[in-house]
Amino acid sequence: MTLNQFIRAVKRMYRAYNKMQHQWRVMQTEKHETGEDFEHWVAAQLRKHGWATKVTPARGDNGIDVIAKKNGRVAGIQCKRYTAKVGNKPVQEILAAQAFHELDILAVVTTVGYTPSARELASRTGVMLLLDTQLSRL
């Protein structure tokens, strides 16, 4: 096997791995029938990590789905149960929500990933972008 053949084989395996990972993520997403189910699931996961949580009402939440408190810090969390990558809008919404709440941490949690522009905006503004499997990083 030449080096080029090896590199092509590794690339094929990497693409197959990414495809399987995406399919697994979609299956995980399906366990939350609604966006509201996902919000409650996120709150429950944070409680397992010692956070006191409150799921905000579906209407009039000012861009915050879950408010979490731990060690005197308050986190505002936008929960997005999508099947496609999350764009800028949730990042912008959580930034606007900071005007309504005194928040130390701003985060968006999703079941998939984020677009490059969402990553860039979050990086410039200090918003945390998390997957549902990364809630312990909060």
List per-block mean pLDDT (blocks of 10 residues) for the chain, which spans 138 residues. Answer: 90 84 61 78 92 88 89 95 91 90 93 94 97 89
Gap between the Cα atoms of 101 and 86, Å rounded = 23
Cα 97 to Cα 33, 94, 107: the distances in Å are 26, 5, 11
Amino acid 30: pLDDT: 53
Amino acid 35: pLDDT: 80
**Residue 96 near residue 76, CB atoms below 8 Å:** no
**Residue 38 near residue 32, CB atoms below 8 Å:** yes
Which run of H or E residues covers position 8? helix 3-30
